[in-house]
Structure 1
Amino acid sequence: MVPVVYHPDYLTYCFGPEHPFSPVRLEMLWTLLEALGCAPTPIRPPEATRADVLRVHAEDYVARVEAASRGEYVPDAEAFGLDTPDVPVFPDMDRAARILVGGTLHGARLIADGRATTVLQLGGGFHHAHPARASGFCVYNDLSIAIRALTDAGLRVAYIDIDVHHGDGVQAIHYREDTVLTISLHETGQYLFPGTGFIDEIGEGRGQGFSLNVPLQPFTDDESYLEVFERVVPHALVMFRPDVLVVQCGADAHFQDPLADLLLSTRAYEQLFRRLKALADEHTGGRALFTLGGGYDFDATVRVWALLYLVLQDRPFPERLPLSWRIEWEQRLERPLSPTLHDTARPLTLTPERRRQIAQQNLHTARRLMDTLAYYWY
């Protein structure tokens, strides 16, 4: 069994009932695993300490998060990305963020200490947080804090981000490092937040050639996404020779997601999770830390993350989702839910010519990226 890190207090990371980054997603996921009869006995992690957070974040930023969390007026809060529509302040925000950071960090320490090989953190994935700035619903960057613990242990880390948004915070933090490879596949920043993640962002100094970005065209479908993934990720891992993978498994590239325009199905996610697991077996002896991330359609997000759990645990998929679970959540959400783990609805239908154009653009992007990086790799 793959160890699962989870704490009920993850649900305290809540920006309010109308905010898209809702803890309801985690509550739904956990109750679904219970209804399926496969809920794990989770490892309850300790909170990350202030010192843990300061391994990545600036002191003046952390002090402002703490002050805002106590209800104090912070006059320059917006300069630090706080008290904004994306990251509104809520009581005890600092502790809520540190609990989630603690989960990802604990997973990394289990791997670094040899107590686990693969770990699933049922939370986290806050890839937009910068050293001195909150951004994109992210206060502290749990991923980079965990990566720092792994590199402190002498491990080379390959970070793979399949969230629909560019993993800009993780990239920025490790941009000058040659012990961390960052790979982000995302909808192009030409159209989508955070407006970064282009192929010329390849790292600086010792880190040149160790930041890889695959900006994808809107309406990219399963076939094109998986083709580009295979063009880039396996070859990058061969080049880098990592000791461990850290994977951010955002579910917002799904076609039902309201905040982006990629068209992945749950079938594509299943293939991605199986491929990532195989790549870990091939390149790191199975050492991999998986986290959650974005995902703003409750129905799609919960099913994608349930797939992640079942794939990692080598468990069979149910033919249908439990009726009692669906009825309860349909009443709470006041909307219908898919009756099966895999999609029953269909994504937006494009003309064959438009699909071909998008696939060609994506393939061209992947080729340009690999051609650019060949200079640094060989």
Structure 2
Amino acid sequence: MVPVVYHPDYLSYNFGPAHPFSPLRLEMLWTLLEALGYAPDPLRPPMATRADVLRVHTEAYVAHVEAASRGEPLPDAEAFGLDTPDVPIFLGMDPAARTLVGGTLHAARLIASGQALSVLQLGGGFHHAHPSRASGFCIYNDLSIAIRALTDAGLRVAYIDIDVHHGDGVQAIHYDEDSVLTLSLHESGHYLFPGTGFIDEIGEGRGQGFSLNVPLQPFTDDQSYLETFERVLPHALVMFRPDVLVVQCGADAHFQDPLGDLLLTTHAYEHIFRRLKALAAEHTGGRALFTLGGGYDFDATVRVWTLLYLILQDLPLPDRLPIDWRIDWEQRLGCSLTPTLHDAALPLSVSSARRQQIAQQNVQTAQRLMDRISYYWY
């Protein structure tokens, strides 16, 4: 079984009931795994230390997060990305964020020490946090802190980001490093936050050629996404020869998600997760760290992450979800939930001509990216 890292205190990362980044997503996921009879016996990680966080973040930024966490007035909070609609201040935000960082870092240390090959962190994935500012619901960048631990151990890290939003923070932190490959497949920044992640962002200095971005057109469907995925990722791994994968498994490219415009179904996610598992076996001997990430439709996000968990554990996929679990959560949320693990409805209908145009644009993007970085690879 793949070790699972989780702590109940993850739920304390809470920007309030009206904020889209809700801890209810994790609570729903955990209770669904329990209802299916597959709840893990998780490893409870230690909280990341201040020194751990400072491996990536600046002293001034961490001090501001700590002050905000204590409720102290901060006239310059917005200069550090704090006290904004995306990252409102809440009491205890520093330990809440460090608890989640601790989970991802613990998973990395298990892999670096040889105690585990593959680990699933049931949380984390805060890919927008920058060294000196919060952004996009992200306070501390758990992914880059974990990547630092892996590279400190002499491992070459391929970071793969399937969130609908560009993994800008992780990219920026490792932009000049040749021991970290960052590869993000996301909706184009022409249409979606954070407005970055274009094919000309390829790294700098020693890191040139090790930052890869695949900006996808809005309304990209399963077939086009998977075709683009295959045109880039396997070749990048062959070139880079990683020792370990770090994968941010955002679920917000699903067609139901309110904060993105891609049209992936759960069938695409099943294929992606199985493919990532196979690529890890092929290129890293199975070494891989998986985290969660974005996902803002409760119904879709929980089903996508349940697929991730079941596939990593080689467990059977149920057709229908437990009815008692579904009724309970429908009452709590005040909305209906899909009764099956896979989607019961179809995505927004796009005309055949438009679908072909989108697919062609995505193929051209992938080809331009590969042409651009081949200079640095060969």
**TM-score, normalised on structure 2?**
1.00
CA offsets per residue over residues 62-107 of structure 1, 9 Å max, x none? 0000000000001110000000000000001000000000000000
Q: Distance in 1 between matches of 2:317 and 2:350?
A: 30
Q: Distance in 1 between matches of 2:259 and 2:168?
A: 17
Q: Distance in 1 between matches of 2:91 and 2:148?
A: 28
The corresponding residue for 1:181 is 181
- Divergent runs of 4+, >6 A: none
For 1:186, what is the secondary structure of its paired residue? strand
The corresponding residue for 1:87 is 87
For 1:358, what is the secondary structure of its paired residue? helix
Look up the equivalent residue of 2:137 and give its one-letter code.
Answer: F
CA deviation after TM superposition for structure 1 residue 372, in Å: 0.3
CA offsets per residue over residues 263-322 of structure 1, 9 Å max, x none? 000000000000000000000000000000000000000000000000000000112100
Q: Distance in 2 between matches of 1:239 and 1:299?
A: 38
The corresponding residue for 2:373 is 373
CA offsets per residue over residues 318-347 of structure 1, 9 Å max, x none? 121000000000000000000000000110
- 8 A Cα contact 2:319 2:342, kept in partner: no
Q: Distance in 2 between matches of 1:141 and 1:175?
A: 15
Q: Distance in 2 between matches of 1:60 and 1:43?
A: 32
**How do 1:134-153 and structure 2 match up within 5 A?**
134-153=134-153
CA deviation after TM superposition for structure 1 residue 147, in Å: 0.1
For 1:246, what is the secondary structure of its paired residue? strand
Q: Distance in 2 between matches of 1:185 and 1:234?
A: 13
**How do 1:319-358 and structure 2 match up within 5 A?**
319-358=319-358
The corresponding residue for 1:291 is 291
Q: Distance in 2 between matches of 1:374 and 1:261?
A: 30
When the two chains are superposed, the root-mean-square deviation of aligned CA atoms in Å is: 0.3
Q: Distance in 2 between matches of 1:55 and 1:324?
A: 45
- 8 A Cα contact 2:122 2:292, kept in partner: yes
Q: Distance in 1 between matches of 2:260 and 2:143?
A: 22
How many residues end up aligned between the 2 structures? 378
For 1:277, what is the secondary structure of its paired residue? helix
Q: Distance in 2 between matches of 1:318 and 1:108?
A: 30
Look up the equivalent residue of 2:370 and give its one-letter code.
Answer: M
Q: Distance in 2 between matches of 1:81 and 1:234?
A: 36
Q: Distance in 2 between matches of 1:152 and 1:334?
A: 47
Look up the equivalent residue of 1:149 and give its one-letter code.
Answer: A
Q: Distance in 2 between matches of 1:227 and 1:244?
A: 24
The corresponding residue for 2:227 is 227
CA offsets per residue over residues 8-34 of structure 1, 9 Å max, x none? 000000000000000000000000000
**How do 1:1-378 and structure 2 match up within 5 A?**
1-378=1-378
CA deviation after TM superposition for structure 1 residue 237, in Å: 0.2
Look up the equivalent residue of 1:41 and give its one-letter code.
Answer: D
Q: Distance in 1 between matches of 2:336 and 2:317?
A: 21
Q: Distance in 2 between matches of 1:13 and 1:194?
A: 22
Q: Distance in 2 between matches of 1:243 and 1:60?
A: 33
CA deviation after TM superposition for structure 1 residue 235, in Å: 0.1
Q: Distance in 1 between matches of 2:317 and 2:206?
A: 44
CA deviation after TM superposition for structure 1 residue 137, in Å: 0.0
CA deviation after TM superposition for structure 1 residue 202, in Å: 0.1
CA deviation after TM superposition for structure 1 residue 248, in Å: 0.1
CA deviation after TM superposition for structure 1 residue 177, in Å: 0.1
For 2:213, what is the secondary structure of its paired residue? strand
Q: Distance in 1 between matches of 2:161 and 2:98?
A: 21
For 1:212, what is the secondary structure of its paired residue? strand
CA deviation after TM superposition for structure 1 residue 369, in Å: 0.1
**Aligned-residue identity in percent:** 83
CA deviation after TM superposition for structure 1 residue 111, in Å: 0.1
Look up the equivalent residue of 2:165 and give its one-letter code.
Answer: H
Q: Distance in 1 between matches of 2:178 and 2:167?
A: 18
For 1:321, what is the secondary structure of its paired residue? coil
Look up the equivalent residue of 1:256 and give its one-letter code.
Answer: Q
Q: Distance in 2 between matches of 1:259 and 1:95?
A: 27
CA offsets per residue over residues 336-376 of structure 1, 9 Å max, x none? 00000000011011111000000000000000000001100
Q: Distance in 1 between matches of 2:374 and 2:103?
A: 36
For 2:246, what is the secondary structure of its paired residue? strand
Look up the equivalent residue of 1:97 and give its one-letter code.
Answer: A
For 2:227, what is the secondary structure of its paired residue? helix
Q: Distance in 1 between matches of 2:257 and 2:316?
A: 26
Q: Distance in 2 between matches of 1:122 and 1:169?
A: 20
CA offsets per residue over residues 47-68 of structure 1, 9 Å max, x none? 0000000000000000000000
Q: Distance in 2 between matches of 1:121 and 1:149?
A: 15
Q: Distance in 1 between matches of 2:254 and 2:6?
A: 24
